[in-house]
Amino acid sequence: MIDINLIRQEPELVKENIRKKFQDEKLVLVDEVKAFDEEYRSIRKKADDLRSERNRASKNIGLLMREGKKEEAEATKAKVSSIGSEIEAIEKKETELESEINKRMMVIPNIIDPSVPIGKDDSENVEIEQFGTKRTFDFEIPYHTEIMEKLNGIDLDSARKTSGNGFYYLTGDIARLHSAILSYARDFMIDRGFTYVIPPYMIHGDVVKGVMSFKEMENMMYKIEGEDLYLIGTSEHSMIGRFIDTIIKEDELPYRLTSYSPCFRKEVGAHGIEERGVYRVHQFEKQEMIVVCRPEESMKYYDTLWKNSVDFFLSLDIPVRTLECCSGDLADLKIKSCDVEAWSPRQQKYAEVCSCSNLGDAQARRLKIRIEDKDGKKYFAHTLNNTVVAPPRMLIPFIENNLNPDLSVNIPKALRPYVGGKEIIK
């Protein structure tokens, strides 16, 4: 959510940002917010004036009674009552206007960073850099579920019976590999100075609305029937929600946190052949990284976060690239974002494994997360997030890049302590 002062003072800047995101249908919202806001401020001033008038009149009632001016006192009482009714009507109108303003402000996109490339959708995202050496294979690489089945590591048929499509059983060494990668990711981030956190896996609706756009919420979140609780789609949701309605002392920042959680997603709109298997599923586990910081530091930490992901995947012998998200591919709360994509030797292309985002003060405004400096001045924090790793999707490039002709899988040196010293899965 942007600062309403931008609409009051620079509405054309807000409109130009909407055009850059190819959301022209939202242009009218700027004018509507501006008009509602002007009306709101006008009637609020009127209400303040009426309250002052009522207070003065109320004080006169006692004076008139003491002077024996009973009729004048009764008339003044009637006037006070009339003013009270008028104020009540205005306050009701204020509430209605506030609701209309807030409803529109929640869907007006955040102001993107000037460095973001302009493009309509993800087809116009821009490659920044490739990292690691792509291994050459002289044998055909099977589909990832076929490899896992050869290793007695996955059971999709049973999962369909118990839960439906988009679920899985991982077993044996593949299940151990899954857990090992998460444990390694936890320690990798701790070694980089991040504090480890296990957050709640369910959050209230006001937190959901504070951390994501309505469109994301509808397409992702599972709601607990009969309760004000949602299953998290990523631990970012509850990690940022942790700071709701708080004032953070400036010298406590930055908060650099890494969190583990299971994640649950509807995955509305998922389609295509690569959605089979474990690439796009309804439940997975994830190690996340979160930063809460001062505004002037957020771009520095943005670079730190995506570089952490690159280093993590290279330590597991998986080549990756960074892909800058264009304006039309940015979610409304984000000011800048890039994907880290892992190389798939089977497909001969990269596929997303991490998403690094700077949300500016959008989440902080919605959740009232403020910083207080040494002089007592308060301002909104900036929030950032990035995936460290999210298996089982991450198992796909891991297996493909470490595969042998007999369909055994090599274990990179960094991961061996987490699988009992094993060097290979057969």
DSSP secondary structure letters along 267-336: -TT--SGGGSTTSS-SEEEEEEEEEEE-GGGHHHHHHHHHHHHHHHHHTTT--EEEEEPPGGGS-TT-SE
Angle (nearest 5°) at CA 386 between 261 and 6: 120
What band does 347 get if pLDDT is binned at 50, 70 and 90?
very high
Q: Tell me, what's the pLDDT at 34? A: 96
- Distance, in Å, from the CA atom of 299 to the CA atom of 403, rounded to the nearest integer, reads 37
pLDDT confidence tier of residue 80, bands split at 50, 70 and 90: confident
180 and 101 both lie in a single domain: no
The Cα 243–Cα 224 span in angstroms is 23
The reported pLDDT for the residue numbered 55 is 83
Residues 128 and 66 in one domain: no
Residues shown for the chain: 426
pLDDT value of residue 249: 97
Q: Span 391-395, mean pLDDT?
A: 95
Q: Render 154-220 in DSSP notation, one character per residue.
A: EEHHHHHHHT-TT--EE-HHHHHHHHHHHHHHHHHHHHTTPEEE---SEE-HHHHHHHS-HHHHHHH
CATH number, position 88: 1.10.287.40
Residues 154 and 282 in one domain: yes
pLDDT at 276: 66
What confidence score (pLDDT) does residue 271 get?
47
| Residue 268 scores a pLDDT above 70 | no
Query: Which of 46, 74, 105 lies at the terminal end of a domain, its last residue?
Result: 105
Sheet holding 378-380, edge to edge: 246-249, 369-372, 378-380
Strand ordering across the sheet containing 222-223: 202-203, 230-231, 222-223
Residue ending a domain, among 74, 105, 136, is: 105
Helix 298-314 vs helix 172-191: angle between axes, to the nearest 10 degrees?
A: 140
Q: Which residue has the tokens 């190389």?
A: 343
| pLDDT at site 67 | 80
Residue 215 has pLDDT above 90, yes or no: no
Q: pLDDT value at position 139?
A: 95
| Mean model confidence pLDDT for the chain | 93
Please tell me the predicted confidence (pLDDT) of residue 275.
Answer: 54
The yes-or-no verdict on residue 226 having pLDDT over 90 is: yes
Is 139 contained in some domain? yes
Q: Give yes or no: residues 298 and 176 share one domain.
A: yes
pLDDT at residue 273 above 60? no
- CATH assignment at residue 135: 3.30.930.10
Q: Which residue segment(s) compose the domain that 13 sits in?
A: 4-105
Over residues 253-271, the mean pLDDT reads 86
Q: How large a percentage of the chain has pLDDT more than 90?
A: 83
Are 207 and 264 part of one and the same domain?
yes
Q: Residue 367 pLDDT more than 70? A: yes
Say if CB 417 and CB 398 are below 8 A apart.
Answer: no
In a domain, 187, yes or no: yes
Task: Write out pLDDT tens, residues 298-317.
Answer: 999 999 999 999 999 999 99
- Give the DSSP letter of residue 412: -
Task: Please report which helix (H) or strand (E) contains residue 340, including its range.
Answer: strand 336-344
- Give how many domains the chain has, as a whole number: 2
61 and 155 fall within a common domain: no
- Which has the minimum average pLDDT: 22-31, 82-91, 225-234, 406-415? 82-91
In a domain, 115, yes or no: no
What distance in Å separates the CA atoms of residue 129 and residue 314, rounded to the nearest whole number? 14
**Is 117 among the domain residues?**
no
In contact, 244 and 208? CB cutoff 8 Å = no
Q: Decide if 112 is inside a domain.
A: no
Q: Does some domain include residue 329? A: yes
Tell whether 66 is covered by a domain. yes
Give yes or no for residue 380 having a pLDDT over 70.
Answer: yes
pLDDT of residue 115: 97
185 shares its domain with 83: no
Q: Are residues 169 and 304 in the same domain?
A: yes
Give the SS3 label for residue 404.
coil
**Residue 157: which region, alpha, beta or left (left: phi > 0; alpha: psi -120 to 50)?**
alpha
Q: In the beta sheet, which residues pair with residue 425?
A: 409
Q: Are residues 210 and 70 in the same domain?
A: no
Looking at residue 267, what is its pLDDT?
Answer: 76
Does the pLDDT value for residue 98 go beyond 90? yes
Give dist(CA 410, CA 426) in Å, integer.
9
Among 76-80, 190-194, 378-382, 384-388, name the one with the lowest average pLDDT: 76-80
Asked whether residue 367 falls in the same domain as residue 288, the answer is yes
In a domain, 131, yes or no: yes
Single out the residue in 71, 105, 139 at which a domain terminates: 105
Q: Is residue 243 predicted with pLDDT exceeding 70?
A: yes
- Whether the pLDDT of residue 108 is over 60: the answer is yes
Calculate mean pLDDT across residues 133-159.
95
Same domain membership, residue 162 and residue 310:
yes
pLDDT score at 272:
43
